[in-house]
Structure 1
């Protein structure tokens, strides 16, 4: 199980991300420490999970969604990315493998899901 989950969404308004979290989980709280950062706490199976939504995390157009917990409902980043793509209908990218199993993995190797399909690619 991964210690946390992080995905990147392309040109997706934070309001849409919050709406997805509200539809999927119990949204306990939400705050905006800065113009580009929104923090939320969600509840999943009686576990509180901190979520950080950071706009312009990778270039101007990508927003990071970071679930800071090993109690998420997803096995890995890719499983989360698939659900986010279905819900948000925008391109989603995530690390190809969990950082823990890095080994010989190319650090630029990512997984991309968009309207054309999904698969590994080099993000640099």
Structure 2
């Protein structure tokens, strides 16, 4: 199972569904439930189920974490996913620069930041 994770600034709830609808089939995601709790959903990519999780308030109050999990995903890396999301939503998107895994120490606190200024590695805060 693979996973991709990006962080979306000032997310408008319908924006994720609209963007993912161009890449996944049969999306089930409750747009109106974005609030304090996690939002769960699913879709399909090349007949493989993709789990969708949204976590508002991740990485600061203004960011929502989006995690996609599945055997086959539309993007190869977090950065590829972030690029697609930025083009579709036109809001700041951030993602990890490498293959960091939960529980590993963060050696370099730089993240990819994609916004109207372009793509650059930046410190989160």
Alignment partner, residue 119 of structure 1:
120
Alignment partner, residue 13 of structure 1:
12
TM-score (norm 1): 0.84
Rounded to whole Å, the distance in 2 between the matches of 1:52 and 1:110 is: 20
CA displacement at 1:70 relative to structure 2: 4.2
After TM superposition, the structure 1 stretch with the greater mean CA deviation from structure 2, 111-120 or 18-27, is: 18-27
CA displacement at 1:40 relative to structure 2: 1.5
Q: Aligned pair in 2 of structure 1 residues 38, 104: CA closer, same or farther (>3 Å)?
A: closer
Structure 2 unaligned regions, length at least 5:
none
Report whether the alignment pairs 1:52 with 2:53: yes
For 1:1-124, list aligned pairs within 5 A.
3-31=2-30, 32=33, 35-99=36-100, 106-124=107-125
3-state SS, counterpart of residue 16 of structure 1: helix
TM-score (norm 2): 0.84
Aligned residues: 121
